Structure 1
Amino acid sequence: MNPASGTDIRRVWVETIMGTEVSVHARGTEVFATLPALDAAVEATFAELHRADAVFSTYRPDSDISQIRTGAFAIEDADPDVAEVADACALAEERTNGLFRANWRGWFDPTGYVKGWAVERAARRHLARVLSFPGASAVGINAGGDMRLFTADDSDWVWRVGIADPHHPGALVATVEVRNGAVATSGTAERGSHIVDPRTGGKATRIASATVVADSLTEADLWATVAAVSGDDLSWISHADTRSGVLVASDGGVRRWLGATEISVQPANSFLAA
């Protein structure tokens, strides 16, 4: 993420949460950068995400999600956030025509939804408000490559996010500019074949990288997962309400869309040959 212009001071905080590196980036004047309230907002953001991990982690045996899976208690007996996410996941299944399902394995597992939801909520509660502090220009959070970004109304700052070419380390497929919004990426490139098509139970391997830009990280994360599952079928973009996106197939082909319209198709290897 690089500046469009200006000489704002940049501060970065990093913690490991949900099994990934989470970083908060803030830009503004020296007065803004040294405000104790800024550090407090970042600390509150990290604390909320640690709490979400304690509730929703599928790897921690003491989490609410793990306890529900083992039958120790029901969703209604868990932390109230679990019921909220369960309702949201049921709606997401309906909205995605089954391309996302939280119960496809026979138990409730909101992986593919909850990280975006948790980061979006924490960012809105604690980071968005720092833009009202004196001298603030921008603030953003990056959770394992998924980003929620904010810019002050009176700032000329633009977040420039590079979309990596999953087949050629160090190369970019595209760069997107965001003032206020979210960017999420899913696929096989970073973590291997970990995404499952809930309709079949088989691994979704046709998409190496699916990047989605949306108004919120909840939406961007959800639809990036859907894009990775749906493969060559982009019919879902007509009702997804995403801003834009880029798919890089396992064979190297690249497809892009803007709003509800596909705007570019590049067959395998054509991007690098151009």
Structure 2
Amino acid sequence: MGTAISLDLADDLPAATLRELADEVFGWLREVDARFSTYRADSEVCRFDRGELSFAETSADLRTVLERCAELWGATDGFFDAYATGRLDPSGYVKGWSAQVASDRLLAAGAANHCLNAGGDVRVRGHSAAGRPWRVGVRHPWEPAATCLVLTGTDLAVATSGVYERGPHVLDPRRGAPARGLRSVTVVGADLGLADAYATAAVAMGPAGIGWLDRLPDHRHAIVTDDARLLHSTALPLEGGAPS
């Protein structure tokens, strides 16, 4: 998936069971990478984009992702656009979606306490091995070794989209040019795929994304603007309360 992925399983289960659960998670994520990578010419998403596969010939997972991307295009007034670059690239949804699926499977298998971090898209459930709520750091957009916020909770989907690693790579689909104005957007909700897509859409909107996020139901957010302002929802689950 082009990013580092870590898994913390905090349940008191036999070591063999934990290894099996971890193997299943990473096996699933490797399957997702093989199917959805835009860097692999033989991936299913690339073959579909080139017209080598019809919609009916694609896998159930790809059809699910394409349908959800179409719904998100409408829900975001076109700012979440899997075709923004001129070719199919559903990465702004797939990373969060695949991690959410993995977390759901862990929960169903009896691993109710875990943290899965897919390159900054984080799904936490239950408690850490120390019996405390999970702590999720939001990276500082100018200082790679620092955090600008720390969130805490027992059931959170936290997705961050920003331009601090790859530069202004998120396109404003209306202008066909890189979006400007927001350095980093973090969205917190119950579903990591949705949070991932909403964070990407808000970055694409630029400053207008601030008001859009304020009106988004059932989600909370934190934004760092290009001029270094930090804005966040009052209900954001911050460790120690609001930052100074």
TM-score (ref. length: structure 2): 0.87
1:204 Cα deviation from its structure 2 partner: 1.3
Matched, 1:251 2:223: no
- The verdict on how the C-alpha distance between 1:168 and 1:238 changes in structure 2, with shifts beyond 3 A counting, is closer
CA deviations on 1:104-148 (whole Å, 9 max, x unpaired) are 34443212111111111122113553336xxxxx21111111111
Alignment partner of 1:215 is 2:198:
no
8 Å CA contact 1:145–1:185 kept in 2: the answer is yes
Match of 1:57 in 2: 37
Residue 217 of structure 1 deviates from its aligned partner by 0.8
Structure 1 residues 102 and 144, CA, compared in 2 at 3 Å: closer, same or farther?
same
The answer to whether residue 129 in structure 2 is matched with residue 149 in structure 1 is no
Contact 1:197 1:229 in 2 (8 A): yes
The equivalent of 2:3 in structure 1 is 20
Aligned match of 2:71: 91
Distance 2:147 2:100 in 1: 26
Counterpart residue number, 1:81: 61
CA contact (8 A) 2:95 2:121 kept: no
Q: Percent identity?
A: 34
Aligned counterpart, 2:135? 160
State yes or no: 1:72 paired with 2:52.
yes
- Separation in structure 2 between the aligned mates of residue 40 and residue 103 of structure 1, nearest angstrom: 37
Give the structure, 1 or 2, with the largest relative contact order (CA under 8 Å, sep 6 or more).
2
Tell me if the contact between 1:68 and 1:74 (Cα under 8 Å) persists in the aligned partners: yes
Using the TM superposition, give the Cα deviation of residue 210 of structure 1 relative to its aligned residue in structure 2, in angstroms.
Answer: 0.9
Structure 1 pair 115/198, CA: closer, same or farther in 2 (3 Å)?
same
Question: Which protein is bigger by CA-based radius of gyration?
Answer: 1
Contact 1:55 1:64 in 2 (8 A): yes
1:4 corresponds in structure 2 to: none
Give the Cα separation in 2 of the matches to 1:141 and 1:43. Answer: 13
How much has 1:59 moved relative to structure 2?
0.5
Contact 1:24 1:42 in 2 (8 A): yes
Which secondary structure does the structure 1 equivalent of 2:91 belong to? coil
Could you list the per-position Cα deviations for residues 196-224 of structure 1 after superposition, in whole angstroms to 9, with x for gaps in the alignment? 11222110132211111111211211111
Q: Would the aligned equivalents of 2:186 and 2:223 in 1 still touch at CA under 8 Å?
A: yes
Instruction: Give the number of aligned pairs.
Output: 236
Which residue is equivalent to 1:197? Answer: 172
Q: Which runs of 5+ in 2 are unaligned?
A: 237-242
Q: Residues 147-206 of structure 1, C-alpha deviation per residue, up to 9 Å, x if partnerless? A: 111106xx9421111222212343332211121121111110122121111222110132
Asked whether the 8 Å contact 1:42–1:127 carries over to 2, the reply is no
* Equivalent residue number for residue 8 of structure 1: none
Name 1:206's counterpart in structure 2. Answer: 181
Matches of 2:29 and 2:45 in 1, distance apart?
Answer: 15
Unaligned runs of 5+ in 1: 1-17, 133-137, 261-270
Instruction: Give, in angstroms, the shift of residue 246 of structure 1.
Output: 1.0
- The 3-state SS of whatever aligns with 1:185 is strand
CA distance change for structure 1 residues 211 and 253 in 2, over 3 Å: closer, same or farther?
A: same
Shift of 1:258: 4.0
